[in-house]
Structure formats: C-alpha cells, structure tokens
Amino acid sequence: MVTRQTTMPAVLLEIGFLSNPQEEITMWNEKFQLHVAKSIAEGIEDFLQVSQ
C-alpha cells in the first residue's frame, strides 16, 4: 500500500528486521550500513541510467 498511488517511481526497501536479534546486530554495523547505502545509490543510478 505504501507505493500504490504514487505519481513517480517508488520502491519500499526492507533491509532487515529489528524483531530479529541477529539482523538488528547486523544493521547497527557501520560497514553494513555503508554497503547498503552504496547499493541503494547504485540501484537508483542504474534505474535512471546515470553514473558518477
């Protein structure tokens, strides 16, 4: 429902779940956070067909 009635391309990302203790530990890891952020940015660049 979150992305159903948007006027532009949209995506909902579920990187992990805080209800899962192991995933919570992983999500607090700075290296993991940077990897996720870089991957999201690369996905957006790919979709828009741009590069840095």
Question: Measured between alpha carbons, how far is 18 from 20 in angstroms, rounded to an integer?
Answer: 5
Render pLDDT for 33-43 as a digit per residue (tens, 0 to 9). Answer: 999 999 999 99
Question: Measured between alpha carbons, how far is 52 from 26 in angstroms, rounded to an integer?
Answer: 28
Six token digits for residue 28: 């607090």
Render pLDDT for 1-52 as a digit per residue (tens, 0 to 9). Answer: 778 888 888 888 999 999 999 999 999 999 999 999 999 999 999 989 887 6
Question: Measured between alpha carbons, how far is 19 from 23 in angstroms, rounded to an integer?
Answer: 8
DSSP assignments along 4-48, one per residue: TT-SS---------TTSHHHHHHHT-HHHHHHHHHHHHHHHHHHH
DSSP annotation of 1? -
